[in-house]
Amino acid sequence: MTFLLLALLTGSCFLACFTDSFKSPDGQVYYGFATLKGMWLFDCPVAGSSEGAFPDLRKYRLRFIDMVHAVLSVLVFGAVALKDKNVLSCFYPTPTHETQEVLDIGPLGIGLLCCFLFVVFPTRRHGIGYPVTPGK
């Protein structure tokens, strides 16, 4: 049961890295999912929308750095999950000494490495719940 919950949360963490938003000229904020061809909008008004109401959605297409951020986010989520004693006791009820050392040091190393890579290669995505910057 714990594995299924962690898998569901890991999947949502992975997919959340591909969400983005933009502000239309009328001030409305639209959210979408980045695809290879552009952004697929969640809340796009189909009826009565004019072609000039939205910016070119192709500039929001999926890039390699988005996949890197998604993988790093999953690694950070896994590291945080492995630091919880209840999750550890579920997967490793009685770990050996070597396993315990890896479980103590591994998440810290993963966290440091991912934080460094997030700083060096920042994302331009403004997913659901993040503020939309004016320069977008």
Query: Does residue 54 carry a pLDDT above 70?
Result: no
Report the candidate in 60, 69, 71, 73 with the shortest Cα–Cα distance to residue 32.
60
Query: At residue 116, what are phi and psi to the nearest 5 degrees?
Result: -60, -45
Q: Give the pLDDT of residue 75.
A: 95
Q: Give the pLDDT of residue 47.
A: 42
Query: Does residue 49 carry a pLDDT above 60?
Result: no
